């Protein structure tokens, strides 16, 4: 590991000094000057679980270094904090009530306007490796034909799996293949090989590489043994909102969760080494984010879909080439999932297609105003699966600002937290008379935002009916594993 660490620092040093000098003449192809884009998407990695975010448990040295050289949107949220809705929104820049993927295992329209299609039309090569989970069609393990790949050319993908040690994928033929060993490592190596191939070919065309990992999503105990050995459950420091009765279970699960996180951190460090070695780093945007967080027994709750910070807050780093002239910064702008696509297109110098609902946050990156106006919305449109009604799930809409989270369900006000006074959301202020004026102010703001976005806030079954989905008793879509 020691030579890799030195090399990684050397690459960061090149970025700090601006990298090699630009060629004297501009390339003939205008698309060649556009930045490459690498999109790294983790699954269920909450925003709190990084060294740079203050988590004393976890070891994330590569991402900690990357964060220091990036625009870090510390207020980023997953607008619908569950897998398929987030992925479809990242691809389209549209919210789930518009593209229809507000449940897992429903298909994104093959005719959708997506990031890969827009960039492909602008001359980008496109590659997708890893987890997909926006195809639906009743199976998580079937071959996905080219017409449903949303504009990606190079393709080594499975719809969904969390069997990280025996992970299947498909390429351009219906014969299944398997990643060797821990799938995140194998997927990273495949991405490295793809990058080296482009560098050796000497092509001037820019590229989009979408690399989507399955970890640190449960099962928590399946990280490689050398990473699991780093974390002893009894040494884990819990967040203050984990009840005492869940402490032992939470520590055990967090130890495995952190092991996955550190394994991915090493994968990301190795990927950047390849960018440095190939000379691609100086003109590559890297985005690192997650589709949602993980409660891990904070608030006595598991997993995602909840409006609490551990579920709804996600990491969002933009590592940018020096040529874009944007300095590293921690920004509190309230960026949401639908805002990532228009922001990336603006950084690439491309127009945003009609129908995109997100906003361009490049002005905020440069120190300008927050285009959200200082608030954004987190939704549960249909509670399903682990957050079904039987498990206590409920439809909600939550207004999130730099200081407050206010949520209402179908019955009325539900949650109000002051992040400044109560960062672990231990005191719900929604029913306290002294905070009624604040609650009413946030409620009016939430209602106005929903009206502006065309969100009627109806019961979940009404949206299921409108889109014609046939769901099971816990409102999940039937599928073959």
**If you write DSSP's letter for every residue of 456-479 in order, what string do you get?**
----HHHHHHHHT----TTSPPP-
Three-class SS state of 480:
strand
Rounded Cα distance, 159 and 402, in Å: 35
**Nearest Cα to 356, choosing from 104, 132, 82, 91?**
91
Catalytic residue of the set 62, 99, 128, 133: 133
Rounded Cα distance, 82 and 381, in Å: 11
Rounded Cα distance, 109 and 102, in Å: 13
Beta strand pairing status for 207-216 and 329-331? unpaired
Q: In Å, how far from its chain's centre is CA 391?
A: 25
Max Cα-Cα span within the chain: 68
Rounded Cα distance, 88 and 99, in Å: 8
DSSP 165: T
End-to-end CA distance of the chain: 37
Burial of 81 (0-12, 13-18, 19+ CB in 10 A): buried
Beta strand pairing status for 125-131 and 154-158? parallel
* Tokens at 129, concatenated: 């490796």
Place of tokens 């029913």: 431
Rounded Cα distance, 251 and 297, in Å: 10
Do the beta carbons of residue 171 and residue 155 sit within 8 Å?
A: yes
Catalytic residue of the set 83, 128, 267, 380: 83
261 among known catalytic residues:
no
Close Cβ partners of 200 (under 8 Å, ≥ 6 residues apart): none
* Tokens at 257, concatenated: 């969760």
83 among known catalytic residues:
yes
Beta strand pairing status for 36-43 and 404-409? unpaired
**Active site positions, annotated:** 83, 133
């Amino acid at each position: 590991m020691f030579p890799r660490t030195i090399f990684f620092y050397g690459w960061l040093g090149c970025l700090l000094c601006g990298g090699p000098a630009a060629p004297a003449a501009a390339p003939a192809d205008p698309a060649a000057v556009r930045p490459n884009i690498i999109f790294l998407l983790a699954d269920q990695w909450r925003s709190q679980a990084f060294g740079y975010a203050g988590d004393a448990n976890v070891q994330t040295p590569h991402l900690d270094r990357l964060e220091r050289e990036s625009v870090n949107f510390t207020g980023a949220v997953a607008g619908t904090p569950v897998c398929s809705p987030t992925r479809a929104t990242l691809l389209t820049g549209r919210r789930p009530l518009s593209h229809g993927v507000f449940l897992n295992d429903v298909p994104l329209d093959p005719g959708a306007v997506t990031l890969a299609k827009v960039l492909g039309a602008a001359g980008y090569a496109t590659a997708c490796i890893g987890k997909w989970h926006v195809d639906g069609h009743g199976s998580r393990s079937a071959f996905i034909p080219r017409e449903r790949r949303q504009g990606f050319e190079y393709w080594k993908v499975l719809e969904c799996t969390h069997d990280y040690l025996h992970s299947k994928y498909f390429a351009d033929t219906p014969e299944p293949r398997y990643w060797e060993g821990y799938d995140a490592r194998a997927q990273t190596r495949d991405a490295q090989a793809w990058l080296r191939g482009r560098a050796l070919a000497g092509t001037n065309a820019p590229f989009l590489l979408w690399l989507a990992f399955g970890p640190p999503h449960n099962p928590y105990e399946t990280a490689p043994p050398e990473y699991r050995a780093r974390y002893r459950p009894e040494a884990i420091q819990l967040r203050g909102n984990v009840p005492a009765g869940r402490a032992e279970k939470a520590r055990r699960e967090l130890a495995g969760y952190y092991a996955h996180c550190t394994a991915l951190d090493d994968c990301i460090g190795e990927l950047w080494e390849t960018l440095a070695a190939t000379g691609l780093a100086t003109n590559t945007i890297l985005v690192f984010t997650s589709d949602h967080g993980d409660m891990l027994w904070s608030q006595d709750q598991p997993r995602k879909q909840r409006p609490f910070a551990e579920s709804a807050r996600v990491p969002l780093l933009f590592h940018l080439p020096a040529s874009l002239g944007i300095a590293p910064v921690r920004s509190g702008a309230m960026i949401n999932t639908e805002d990532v696509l228009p922001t990336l297109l603006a950084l690439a110098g491309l127009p945003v297609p009609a129908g995109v609902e997100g906003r361009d946050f490049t002005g905020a990156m440069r120190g300008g105003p927050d285009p959200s106006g200082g608030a954004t919305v987190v939704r549960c449109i249909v509670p399903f699966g682990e957050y079904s009604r039987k498990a206590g799930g409920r439809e909600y809409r939550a207004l999130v600002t730099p200081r407050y989270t206010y949520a209402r369900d179908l019955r009325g006000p539900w949650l109000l937290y002051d992040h400044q006074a109560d960062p672990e959301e231990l005191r719900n202020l929604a029913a306290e008379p002294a905070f009624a004026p604040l609650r009413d102010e946030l409620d009016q703001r939430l209602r106005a935002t929903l009206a502006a976005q065309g969100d009627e806030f109806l019961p979940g079954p009404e949206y299921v009916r409108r889109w014609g989905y046939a769901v099971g008793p816990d409102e999940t879509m039937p599928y073959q594993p």
